[in-house]
Amino acid sequence: MGFGWSLPQRRRPTPHWMRIAAGGAALLLSSMSLAQQVDLGQTVAMNGTAAGVAACVACHGMKGEGDMVGGFPRIAGLSRSYLEAQLNAYAHGQRQSFLMTTPARLLTPQERSAVAAYFSRLPPYLPPQPIAIDESAQPSDVGPWLANRGRWNQNLPACAQCHGATGLGVGAAFPALTGQAASYIALQLHQWQEGKRPSGPMGLMSLVAGKLSDNDIAAVAAYYGGPDSGIQQTVAGVRK
């Protein structure tokens, strides 16, 4: 299946499917005001719930910043619709995780929506310094090449075309990659390959992940992730 693009382009108008995906996620309607939902979400995040849900911040950090060493994802500043969809997917067994399934199941739908609202309002990842794109990358520099050029003989668009030039995410539907641990990014790509994560808007990530080898996954995860949490700018591309 093709994406219908003939040339790699870094700057171009928003493709139609991106607008469709961004508009498709509806928020759970609630009788609570937004402020009340955010308050409830904060309580869940900080204290957990009486049903036995652990405080989210114990793993995801006090500000939702994640834990690079543990591979716990950053959730602060991701969109509410994305976060809520992930929590629902864990709760319904469509997205599998040893650590997330139980808390997601024990939350009520209203609590999942509220805690998503809370974390979406925390500041997103900001790189310590402006991120420059590696213009000197060669096809053999697998990480930067896949990230910024894609692989057109496989109809594989560049990650940057959906996740933004610097991987900081685009709109509500395309989450940030920069700021996530390499181990987390790699795990997600393998989860899609193995059908352990729902394919998301328009099945885009299942298509992408299905075209990546283990080596591709390691390289592109190392490019976006890593202990310093910024895009890796080494000319060699693949950090070991």
Select 58 or 235, whichever has its Cβ closest to ligand HEC: 58
Cβ neighbours of residue 230 closer than 8 Å, sequence gap 6 or more = 127, 128, 129, 131, 178
Chosen residue from 91, 142, 205, 218 binding ligand HEC by CB under 6 A: 205
**Owner of token pair 């040893």:** 98
- The span from the CA of 143 to the CA of 153, in Å, is 17
> Token digits for 90?
């864990």
Tell me the window of 27-35, 123-131, 200-208, 229-237 that interacts with ligand HEC (CB under 6 A): 200-208
Phi, psi of 84 (to 5 degrees): -65, -40
Query: Interface with ligand HEC by CB under 6 A: which range of 6-14, 26-34, 77-85, 126-134?
Result: 77-85
Residue 98: exposed, middle, or buried by beta-carbon count in 10 A (0-12, 13-18, 19+)?
A: exposed
Q: Is 56 in the site for ligand HEC (CB under 6 A)?
A: yes
Give min distance, CB of 22 to ligand HEC, in A.
9
CB of 31 to ligand HEC, least distance (A): 21
Touching ligand HEC, residues 22-51 (CB under 6 A): 44
Task: Choose among 66, 64, 104: nearest CA to 86.
Answer: 104
* Closer residue to ligand HEC, CB minimum distance, 68 or 173: 173
Q: At what angle do helices 80-91 and 109-120 cross, to 10 degrees?
A: 140
Could you identify the residue written with the tokens 């402006």? 130
Restricted to residues 121-180, the positions that interact with ligand HEC (CB under 6 A) are: 146, 157, 159, 161-163, 173-175, 177, 180
How many chain residues bind ligand HEC (CB under 6 A)?
A: 44
Report the residue number, 42 or 82, with the smaller CB distance to ligand HEC: 82
Among 22, 54, 133, 238, binds ligand HEC (CB under 6 A): 54
In whole angstroms, give the CA distance from residue 155 to residue 3. Answer: 7
Residue with smaller CB distance to ligand HEC, 85 or 122 = 85
The answer to whether 219 contacts ligand HEC (rule: CB under 6 A) is no
What does the alpha-carbon distance between residue 149 and residue 158 come to, in Å, rounded to a whole number?
5
Contacts with 161 (C-beta within 8 Å, 6 or more apart), sequence order = 9, 10, 12, 150
Residues that bind ligand HEC (CB under 6 A): 21, 44, 53-54, 56, 58-60, 72-73, 75, 78, 82-83, 85-87, 95, 97, 99-100, 103, 107, 115, 146, 157, 159, 161-163, 173-175, 177, 180, 185, 187-188, 200-201, 204-205, 208, 220
